[in-house]
Structure 1
Amino acid sequence: MIVRDVTLSFILFIPGFLSFIDDSKCPSSWTPSGDSCIKPFLRPLSSSEAEKTCVAEGGILLDCDRSGMVDDVADILRGFYDNGLHESTWLVSRRGGETPRAINRQSGKNYK
């Protein structure tokens, strides 16, 4: 059995002070999430490398404690799964240097 580690980094882009957002307000390859946009990266990075990547992309590391953000990230992960990336657990960064939160694929197509 071969075990493969995949690190997923999400960055958050806030396109101004909008009370709503549509797809056209997010840069290409970003996904709308509430009043922000998120973009996943599927390459292994340390926390400092992930932060530098986020800044270079014009964003910040995703804060999964924001209301509705976990649901949006779970939708993105579900899309990855449906397209053949069959990882069952993802670690998602949390604010303040806390231990990352694990989002697990439950039976069916749900991440929690």
Structure 2
Amino acid sequence: MKLRMFVAAIMLLITAMMACSPNQEKNTTEVVTGNAGNFLVIKGRGFSVDKSQNKVIFGSVPAQVLRADANYLLVQVPVQKVATVPVVVAVGENISNAMLFAYHPKLVASSF
């Protein structure tokens, strides 16, 4: 069940994110939900193959870019308080449209 939710969140993120094609007129209202530490693949175009040149920002917190290709980024969702934050990708002066990411509170197992 958790894996399905994670895959669904990744697919929504990929669909919602318009990588490095500036468009200030249009922002998505879709919200992707996940946890800090999740791995996300962002597909698009215009990314730098040098991962240090790609910036992915969750609210005001930068994500770690683990892999980069001209057509995708693999990032790890940074730790942040439970909230809904805008996420943008920047490569040089090119900035993507913002999408929303809702941090899911960690579930705590309880004994019955």
Same fold per TM (> 0.5)?
Answer: no
- TM-score, normalization by structure 2: 0.30
Structure with bigger strand share is 2
Structure with bigger helix share is 1
- TM-score, normalization by structure 1: 0.30
The structure whose RCO (Cα within 8 Å, separation 6+) is larger is 2
